[in-house]
Chains A and B, each alone.
Chain A
Amino acid sequence: MTREAGPTVEARPARAPAESGNGSPTEVPNPLRQGLRLERMPAPCTMVIIGATGDLTRRKLGPALYNLMLGGFLPPEFTVVGFARREMSDAEFRDHLREGIDAYSRNKPVKRSIWDSFSQGIEYHRGEFHEPASYKELAARLERIDRDRGTSGNRLFYLAVPPVLYPEIVKQLGMAGLAASGEARGDARRGWSRVIVEKPFGSDLSSARKLNREIREVFGEDQIFRIDHYLGKETVQNLAVFRFGNGLFEPIWNRRYIDSVQITVAETVGVEERGEFYDQTGALRDIVQNHGLQLMATFGMEPPVEFKAEDLRDEKLKVLRAVKPMSTSEVVQNTVRGQYVSGWVEGTKVHAYRDEPEVNPASQTETYVALKLAVDSWRWAGVPVYLRTGKAMPTRATEIAVQFKRAPLALFARAGMPQIDPNILAIRIQPDEGILLRFGAKVPGQGLNIRSVNMDFRYGASFAVDSPDAYETLLLDCMIGDASLFTRDDEVERAWEIIDPILRAWESGEGGPLHFYGAGTWGPPAADELLERDGRAWRKP
């Protein structure tokens, strides 16, 4: 057997590299980590969950932490402090978490002996969110944990509370001296401090700016991690690998070859128990402002200099900046809003939106949005991006579909025969992540009949590797200090700059009427007309 000249062997392709996974960058790296499957290990830290008795902790955070621990991703020193108003003992809080894991974790039920050991690092801190004394006590507790458990002064604050409470809590954290990281305090050995906030980030441009300003008065932008769980779904990396890891697609990823783009985020569910929240929010704020525009930015961005957080976010921001905010007349022309009336979804009768609990019976809130956006960049000028999202749709599907231009000459079109369908490349994000390419092929036999065929690739059918829950990925990334999958302040604000004029036009009543559509249909007819005007049609994903 001879030695082959194979490709040079390098470390496994890492994601956006960790900045300080194993201590500060000046430290000698751990030589035993080289080549191991888990190359990204967070430094020892304490995670403080503020609002720890709520639903998010029980359903998402507890299970995510437990699974990370089971997978060996958390250092032994890792500690959790739950902070909330309710009177509760450490033991009761541990039980609260354990019940959540038993109910919602992808690994369940909890293994008793493992849990007993892990839960020794879980504490409960009772306090009021507006009382400085509560934070002083918290600071003292964290100092003690640093000493006892060796968490090196690294703290992660998770704000699992309604956004109205963010400013107050952040202010209090700052006053208690908990927000400054070691570097800022002139003591690099004192570790880092980071804060995770959940969407929604504001309800319009001015409130988002205000919120960003208030948080930034205390935390630096590099300490703030705005979570958008959609971005934790491996989508960003897959999309980036597809575009920038293959030589085939990037050369045609532009206005010369692409005719138009359709982005769909369709849900089959109605508003469920979120009636009150949703009625004040609507689909534009709930989905388009964050997930929708983030998907578009990831799809359309230029290749980043490096696959790192700041470079990625710079490129995404450029795409958002190239989308010009609409005037009122453009809103009328390029947007459609809809609200579902009763119908049938997946064989189940669905009530009209206005009949849902906690929804205003005369509500004007949109549950469906279709937009035609223009990205005025060198790469995308003249390529319309059609973005739609809706509740009570026929199927649950999130996808980005690229329609390519037709061949320059209709060589095979005969009299009376329709033209060959344009080529389509669809990137499906959920439910079954995959890539589909549609092209024309000759039907075997005499004569020249052409049909469109699909080349269908599914990640799940090829790799069958369990994907971690989005919260697991995002929590681990935050502990490692990798912000690639989190949204930066300028991205959030730019997204609101795009959304704001549409909101204002709709609210003033000059932005076009609210259309109605039956639950279980693909939205109001006006949305179809939006594309028909351009000689196009929506896909049925």
Chain B
Amino acid sequence: MARRSASERELAVHRQLMRFGEAESLATPMWEQRGTTVAAIEAQLARLWDVQSQTTSEGDQLVTEKGLPHARASVLNLIVTAANAETADRVVQTLLSLGIRHPSRAIVLVADHRAAGDPLDVRISTHCNTGGMDQICYEEVVLTVRGDKAEHLAGIVAPLLIHDLPTFTWWPGDPPFRDPVFDQLVELSDRLIVDSSDFGDLLAGLRRLAAIERRSGIGDLAWERLGPWQERIAQFFDAPRFRRYLPNLNRLIVRYAVPAMGSRRTRHAGVDAGLHTHLAPMAQPTLLAGWLAARLGWRRNRTLDPLLDGSMRLRLEGRHEMVDLRIQAEPTDQLPAGELTSVRLRSYGETGAAEFIIDRTGDEAVVATNADGMTALLRRITMEVPREAELLSQQLIDDQADPVYEAALHAATGFLAAARTEEAPALPVSPAQELGG
């Protein structure tokens, strides 16, 4: 599909927003201005909710205890970049489906420094969503920035944030890590949220992430997707009698979905299949392996099979055993590319081998433990592919740097670097040291 022109792209965003307006009913009329100024937008934001305050027949302001016209607690600002048409569509889609978990003010940036026309267009809408008994209101500011101004986004955004609130930046798609605009916006925010599944160059992207430090840390939707897997894996070893297998793990096989031959299905409907390189969907399996390695103090030993067609095999050095790490691509149309399909851990304990298995088919998984010579404990659980909005809303709740993620990121970077034949390992990887054991 050819890239759409700037005006087509704007139209698409606008249509999405209008659809939103119908579905959720605007709390105040939409305010739209072409060729506007930051000062004018600021003024509009300040009087945004005035329309709502009610007055009595005598002209007094009405003050009630319940159902205040603008009862609203502010929690955070969210800056979202929509660097191209595809991500712009996705951003709007996701924000729409955030349901009741909205940030207090979302600023969506559609920037194109090559485009001609009015340098700054704005569309402000306010939405109230009744979730249960409470009404949650939020403001959405869509800015279209063209020409030189697009290279100085931070200066445009900063005055429009609700002051004294944490500011998160969500950068969907493949962030331009080398672009100064990226640095500006990251500098402005307390937390950066990305999705490493979308990185064009996963290794470079993970390396760059590892170098960024914000007060509230880095959020990675690919990591968020691993949450249920981590819970289930940890659960294997909650029972004391199985915990003793943990130091003796000697094999980890992580399988993940890649599109079956001839399939055009990709992770995000409407996104060009060509957007992802063959490496990109490896974010989840690599981070999961990095997580286990970092938690259990496995160090990289050597590469057994270099990265080929999305699969790789490394030898790691565990506390007591050498660990055989295999990441394998599994062609399937059952699951979006990059989603995990199976995690299998094997260990030698006092009484023989033990195996801990999670195998996923569709939105369910079978969890099995085969140890102590006991009959396998089999359990069927739900393992749904979470919607992007759910992942994002969870990331909006977290506001602390996550040392566990950072350690996993570090280890994953090392694995990828080692497995990629075209370059020598650039980072000395010793996740155990990084974690202090």
Q: Assuming the A-B contacts A9-B401, A114-B380, are A33 and B131 also in contact, with contact meaning beta carbons closer than 8 angstroms in the complex?
A: no
- In the complex, whether A360 has a CB less than 8 A from a CB of chain B is no
Cβ-defined contact, A454 with B68, below 8 A:
yes
- In the complex, whether A378 has a CB less than 8 A from a CB of chain B is no
Residues on B with C-beta less than 8 A from A70 are 382
Least CB distance from B301 to A in Å reads 20
- In the complex, whether A534 has a CB less than 8 A from a CB of chain B is no
Cβ 8 A contact of B73, one of A1, A30, A458? A458
Which of B102, B134, B213, B402: most chain A Cβ within 10 A?
B134
The closest CB in chain A to the CB of B375 belongs to A148
Q: Assuming the A-B contacts A1-B187, A37-B227, A454-B63, are A460 and B132 also in contact, with contact meaning beta carbons closer than 8 angstroms in the complex?
A: yes
Cβ-defined contact, B238 with A41, below 8 A:
yes
Least CB distance from B316 to A in Å reads 16
Cβ-defined contact, B134 with A4, below 8 A:
no
Residues on A with C-beta less than 8 A from B382 are 70, 111, 114
Residues on B with C-beta less than 8 A from A36 are 227, 230-231, 234, 404
Q: Assuming the A-B contacts A3-B213, A44-B239, are A458 and B71 also in contact, with contact meaning beta carbons closer than 8 angstroms in the complex?
A: yes
Cβ-defined contact, A114 with B400, below 8 A:
no
Within 8 A of A (CB), among B82-112: 99-102
Cβ-defined contact, B379 with A76, below 8 A:
yes
The closest CB in chain A to the CB of B65 belongs to A454
Cβ-defined contact, A33 with B215, below 8 A:
no
What's the Cα separation between A2 and B183 when bound, in Å? 11
- In the complex, whether B246 has a CB less than 8 A from a CB of chain A is yes
The closest CB in chain A to the CB of B408 belongs to A35
Cβ-defined contact, A150 with B239, below 8 A:
yes
Residues on A with C-beta less than 8 A from B231 are 36-38, 72
Cβ-defined contact, B238 with A43, below 8 A:
yes
B257-293 interface code vs A (CB 8 A; 1 in, 0 out)? 0000000000000000000000000000000000010
What's the Cα separation between A113 and B405 when bound, in Å? 33
Cβ-defined contact, B73 with A77, below 8 A:
no
- In the complex, whether A436 has a CB less than 8 A from a CB of chain B is yes
What's the Cα separation between A525 and B244 when bound, in Å? 69
The closest CB in chain B to the CB of A464 belongs to B100
B34-47 interface code vs A (CB 8 A; 1 in, 0 out)? 00000000000000
Listed stretches A21-29, A315-323, A409-417; interface member = A21-29
B363-378 interface code vs A (CB 8 A; 1 in, 0 out)? 0100101000010011
Least CB distance from B8 to A in Å reads 35
Cβ 8 A contact of B295, one of A3, A32, A72? A32
Cβ 8 A contact of A33, one of B238, B364, B402? B238
Least CB distance from B163 to A in Å reads 17
- In the complex, whether B241 has a CB less than 8 A from a CB of chain A is yes
The closest CB in chain A to the CB of B242 belongs to A150
Cβ-defined contact, B63 with A30, below 8 A:
no
Cβ 8 A contact of B380, one of A31, A113, A431, A443? A113
What's the Cα separation between A5 and B369 when bound, in Å? 44
What's the Cα separation between A30 and B65 when bound, in Å? 49
Chain B interface secondary structure, helix, strand, loop or mixed?
A: mixed
- In the complex, whether B304 has a CB less than 8 A from a CB of chain A is no
Within 8 A of B (CB), among A391-435: 431-432
Residues on B with C-beta less than 8 A from A150 are 239, 241, 374, 377
Residues on B with C-beta less than 8 A from A348 are none
A60-79 interface code vs B (CB 8 A; 1 in, 0 out)? 00000000001010011100
Cβ-defined contact, A4 with B63, below 8 A:
no
What's the Cα separation between A30 and B245 when bound, in Å? 11
Within 8 A of A (CB), among B394-409: 397, 400-405
What's the Cα separation between A464 and B397 when bound, in Å? 10
Cβ-defined contact, B240 with A27, below 8 A:
yes
Residues on B with C-beta less than 8 A from A183 are none
Q: Assuming the A-B contacts A32-B233, A36-B234, A461-B73, are A1 and B213 also in contact, with contact meaning beta carbons closer than 8 angstroms in the complex?
A: yes
Least CB distance from A205 to B in Å reads 39
Cβ-defined contact, B379 with A117, below 8 A:
yes
What's the Cα separation between A432 and B212 when bound, in Å? 40
- In the complex, whether B16 has a CB less than 8 A from a CB of chain A is no
Residues on B with C-beta less than 8 A from A12 are 400
- In the complex, whether B159 has a CB less than 8 A from a CB of chain A is no
Residues on A with C-beta less than 8 A from B75 are 462-463
What's the Cα separation between A464 and B374 when bound, in Å? 44
What's the Cα separation between A35 and B237 when bound, in Å? 15
Least CB distance from A380 to B in Å reads 26
Cβ-defined contact, A462 with B379, below 8 A:
no
Q: Assuming the A-B contacts A43-B238, A111-B382, are A35 and B134 also in contact, with contact meaning beta carbons closer than 8 angstroms in the complex?
A: no
Cβ 8 A contact of A72, one of B71, B186, B235? B235
Residues on B with C-beta less than 8 A from A72 are 228, 231-232, 235, 381
What's the Cα separation between A229 and B133 when bound, in Å? 21
- In the complex, whether B211 has a CB less than 8 A from a CB of chain A is yes
Cβ-defined contact, A460 with B243, below 8 A:
no
- In the complex, whether B142 has a CB less than 8 A from a CB of chain A is no
The closest CB in chain A to the CB of B382 belongs to A114
What's the Cα separation between A452 and B72 when bound, in Å? 18
Residues on A with C-beta less than 8 A from B240 are 22-24, 27, 43, 152
- In the complex, whether A133 has a CB less than 8 A from a CB of chain B is no
The closest CB in chain B to the CB of A436 belongs to B65
- In the complex, whether B194 has a CB less than 8 A from a CB of chain A is no
Q: Assuming the A-B contacts A432-B133, A454-B63, are A30 and B234 also in contact, with contact meaning beta carbons closer than 8 angstroms in the complex?
A: yes
What's the Cα separation between A451 and B381 when bound, in Å? 57
The closest CB in chain B to the CB of A72 belongs to B231
Least CB distance from A14 to B in Å reads 13
A residues adjacent to B (C-beta < 8 A): 1-4, 6-7, 9, 12, 22-24, 27-28, 30-38, 41, 43-44, 70, 72, 75-77, 111, 113-114, 116-118, 149-150, 152, 431-432, 436, 443, 451-454, 456-458, 460-465
Closest 6 CB pairs of A and B: A460-B134, A35-B404, A117-B380, A32-B234, A23-B240, A462-B73
- With A114-B381, A432-B134, A462-B75 known, 11 other A-B pairs at CB within 8 A are A3-B213, A4-B213, A32-B237, A32-B246, A35-B405, A36-B227, A72-B231, A72-B381, A77-B239, A461-B73, A464-B99
10 A–B contacts, CB within 8 A, in A order? A2-B213, A3-B213, A6-B401, A75-B238, A152-B239, A443-B61, A461-B72, A461-B135, A461-B137, A464-B134
B residues adjacent to A (C-beta < 8 A): 61, 63, 65, 68, 71-75, 99-102, 131-137, 183, 186-187, 211-217, 227-228, 230-235, 237-241, 243, 246, 292, 295-296, 364, 367, 369, 374, 377-382, 397, 400-405
